[in-house]
């Protein structure tokens, strides 16, 4: 017997609410909960800069979303050595309790090796630094971030479009959209946010590149070692009791005879026989990462609704080892340079004018890094200077210590500067015969 048409209509009406409820419940949970969400701040990038910024904002009760296109913690090419100031910043962020004792190595200073084998070393005046794998550092920052109520973290979430909307910046992923009053670009060297906001500067004339690898072997030194070659440097950082990281930096414009593919590491180590002797096994069996060009210039670090932090905010070179420390300092500066503006302006997009305090703070934080990096690049570009400078540092460890401290933000008096210049001049002037 055929079912009457009116019964079908009644069944549809009766069961429509139930079917609708089941359909909604079957959607992915993050799609239902996160679609068209509003946040005071949205951070793109889940590295140390982004996680640290998220921690600072969430601690202040600012509703924040962090989006990272990869699964956390994210690994990335870097020197993996935190200078003493960076260690202090980790303490201020409440991160150190999440660092397992086996996951890092405390190093006490810097050791320079000249091309001719002259060695100068100095301990930090500020206390030990921290050698740590990027994944271990990011994991500790992530665990700290996950403690905080006002911070949501969306892993494996790729931002596809960014646009200005009514009273905010609109970001869309494949299946979600978000509105925020302020977008923080913490997405590294090749920043999508920097590009979209039109803050990308002109290309740098130098083409400095880096290659990094890890060796499963106990550190042979309690110092970070910098080996200077002819137009190339090698940086050796102990990252745990059983691992050492090595990073090579060079300028591709120098036309050094560096091979490609499986032979690249062998050709890099040939510039440093001292390091080559310490390795066991075939270099072709080791994996490595590359990054470059290293220098990234910006026209500004802010725009309406936009703030850049970390490498996204500009980067000169990795040879100072200050990159992560600078990023953490920038994140901590948000307490004074951003949060008051967010509270005073409770609605609408955060204007560039309201971000002036961060601009000022950024320049104060980075001026020492850029000054020190430029000095070090002069040595890299003029290898004939290296020998004399390292000999001077060997004779005058206090000058060496002062130079390292200046890169971490310690400012010297006029008398100290005059003394530094006088001692540097002595290196290149003929010495009286006895």
For residue 5, the model assigns a pLDDT of 54
- In a domain? residue 423: yes
- In a domain? residue 96: no
Return the bridge partners of 37, or none. 178
Domain check: are 199 and 209 in the same one?
Answer: no
The domain that holds 67 is classified in CATH as 3.50.50.60
CA nearest 188: which of 247, 248, 134, 243? 134
- In a domain? residue 26: no
Q: What's the mean pLDDT in 225-248?
A: 95
Domain check: are 145 and 271 in the same one?
Answer: no
For residue 280, the model assigns a pLDDT of 65
Q: Is the pLDDT of residue 282 over 80?
A: no
Domain check: are 251 and 200 in the same one?
Answer: no
Point out the least confidently predicted range of 79-88, 156-165, 200-209, 328-337: 200-209
**Last-in-domain residue among 291, 325, 351:** 291
- In a domain? residue 7: no
The percentage of the chain sitting over the pLDDT mark of 90, rounded to a whole number, equals: 67
* Domains in the chain, number: 3
Domain check: are 213 and 108 in the same one?
Answer: yes
Write out the residue range of the structural domain in which residue 112 sits: 104-130+205-291
Band of pLDDT at residue 222, cut at 50, 70 and 90: very high
Q: Is the pLDDT of residue 169 over 90?
A: yes
pLDDT, tens digit, 9 for 90 and up, residues 361-371: 999 999 998 99
- In a domain? residue 311: yes
**Token reading at 34:** 């996160």
Domain check: are 391 and 264 in the same one?
Answer: no
For residue 310, the model assigns a pLDDT of 97
3-class secondary structure, 279: coil
The percentage of the chain sitting over the pLDDT mark of 70, rounded to a whole number, equals: 85
- Return d(Cα 356, Cα 7) in angstroms, integer: 68
For residue 183, the model assigns a pLDDT of 99
pLDDT, tens digit, 9 for 90 and up, residues 294-337: 999 999 999 999 999 999 999 988 878 889 999 999 999 999 99
**Last-in-domain residue among 351, 374, 397:** 374
CB crowding 311-321: b at 16 or more within 10 Å, else e: bbbbbbbbbbb
Domain check: are 188 and 219 in the same one?
Answer: no
Q: What's the mean pLDDT in 418-423?
A: 52
- In a domain? residue 86: no
Q: Is the pLDDT of residue 255 over 90?
A: no
Domain check: are 229 and 305 in the same one?
Answer: no
- In a domain? residue 1: no
Categorise residue 384: left if φ over 0, alpha if ψ from -120 to 50, beta otherwise: alpha
Domain check: are 117 and 234 in the same one?
Answer: yes
Please state, rounded to an integer, the average pLDDT across all residues of the chain. Answer: 87
- In a domain? residue 63: yes
Q: Is the pLDDT of residue 284 over 80?
A: no
**Last-in-domain residue among 273, 291, 309:** 291
Domain check: are 200 and 210 in the same one?
Answer: no
């Amino acid at each position: 017997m055929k079912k009457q048409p009116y019964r079908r209509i009644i069944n549809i009406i009766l069961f429509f609410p139930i079917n609708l409820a089941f359909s909604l419940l079957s959607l992915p949970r993050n799609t239902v909960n996160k679609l068209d969400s509003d946040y005071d701040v949205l951070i793109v990038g889940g590295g140390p800069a982004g996680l640290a910024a998220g921690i600072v904002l969430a601690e202040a009760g600012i509703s924040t979303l962090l989006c990272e296109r990869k699964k956390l913690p994210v690994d990335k090419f870097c020197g993996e050595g935190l200078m003493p100031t960076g260690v202090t910043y980790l303490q201020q962020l409440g991160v150190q309790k999440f660092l397992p004792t086996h996951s890092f190595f405390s190093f006490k200073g810097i050791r320079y090796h000249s091309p001719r084998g002259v060695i100068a070393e100095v301990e930090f005046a500020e206390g030990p630094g921290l050698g740590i794998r990027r994944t271990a550092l990011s994991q500790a920052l992530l665990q700290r971030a996950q403690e905080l109520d006002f911070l949501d973290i969306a892993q494996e979430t790729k931002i596809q479009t960014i646009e200005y909307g009514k009273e905010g910046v609109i970001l869309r992923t494949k299946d979600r959209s978000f509105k925020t009053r302020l977008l923080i670009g913490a997405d590294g060297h090749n920043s999508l946010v920097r590009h979209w906001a039109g803050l990308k500067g002109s290309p740098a004339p130098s083409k400095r590149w880096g290659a990094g690898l890890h060796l499963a072997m106990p550190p042979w030194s309690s110092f970070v070692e910098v080996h200077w070659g002819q137009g190339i440097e090698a940086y050796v950082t102990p990252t745990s009791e059983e691992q050492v990281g090595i990073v090579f930096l060079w300028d591709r414009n120098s036309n050094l005879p560096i091979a490609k593919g499986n032979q690249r590491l062998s050709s890099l180590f040939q510039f440093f026989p001292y390091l080559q002797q310490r390795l066991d096994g075939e270099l072709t069996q080791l994996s490595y990462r590359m990054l470059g060009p290293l220098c990234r210039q910006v026209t500004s670090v802010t725009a309406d609704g936009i703030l850049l932090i970390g490498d996204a905010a500009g980067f000169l070179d990795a040879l100072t080892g200050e990159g992560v420390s600078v990023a953490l300092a920038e994140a901590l500066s948000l307490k004074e340079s951003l949060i008051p503006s967010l509270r005073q302006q409770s609605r609408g997009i955060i204007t560039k004018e309201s971000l002036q305090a961060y601009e000022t703070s950024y320049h104060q934080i980075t001026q020492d890094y850029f000054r020190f990096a430029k000095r070090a690049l002069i040595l890299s570009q003029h290898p004939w200077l290296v020998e004399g400078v390292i000999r001077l540092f060997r004779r005058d460890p206090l000058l060496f210590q002062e130079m390292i401290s200046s890169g971490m933000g310690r400012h010297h008096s006029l008398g100290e500067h005059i003394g530094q210049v006088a001692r540097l001049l002595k290196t290149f002037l003929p010495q009286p015969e006895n």
